[in-house]
Amino acid sequence: MNADCLRAAIRDVVDFPKPGIIFKDITPVLADAKLFRESIALLCATAGNVKIDKVVGIDARGFIFAAAVADRLDAGFVPIRKKGKLPWKTRQTAYSLEYGESIVELHEDAIRPGETVLLVDDLLATGGTAAAAVKLLDELGANLVGISVLIELEFLAGRAKLAPHRVISIITY
């Protein structure tokens, strides 16, 4: 099994969540134990031989993949959430969306300075959310060794917002 099997399982949903968007639906991958296992194995491999202290996942679908990757890498899992969803003291940053602005947060004690971190998400599109996550991790002194995504929509050029960080995508469109 490989990334081509995963690509074949990802469903295109036209005009969701609004007209003109082709949504990449990962639920067929999640529903198939072998495909889900393979997606996690491929994301884990992006860490290479680096010992990861924390795997950070972005709200919400990124949590699914990041938590499983953290378990396999024997690392802690840290969620980056939408504003108002974390119960402790947080750091937050705003980022732009095509229709406005949003805010993500991270517990201020979630990462210790120098900890080796892998950022995992399901999809990289315009890069705004991932760039906001990187900003928060930088503020906490994380040693961000990579940004791993299951799917990258290359035509939206989100990777450019994440330079100079290493971005690894399993499937590109």
| Rounded Cα distance, 153 and 172, in Å | 6
Rounded CA separation 167/147 (Å):
5
Pairing of strands 54-58, 76-82: parallel
Residue 11 is among the residues annotated as catalytic for this protein: no
Cα angle for residues 64, 70, 74 (degrees, 5° grid) = 155
Whole-number Å distance between alpha carbons of 42 and 40: 5
CA 54 to chain CA centroid, nearest Å: 13
Distance CA 140, CA 40 (A): 26
Active-site residue, from 7, 72, 81, 98: 98
- Exactly one of 61, 139, 154, 159 is catalytic; name it: 61
Tokens at 17, concatenated: 């969540």
91 is catalytic: no
Q: Identify the CA nearest to 132 among candidates 104, 107, 170.
A: 104
The residues assigned a catalytic role are 61, 98
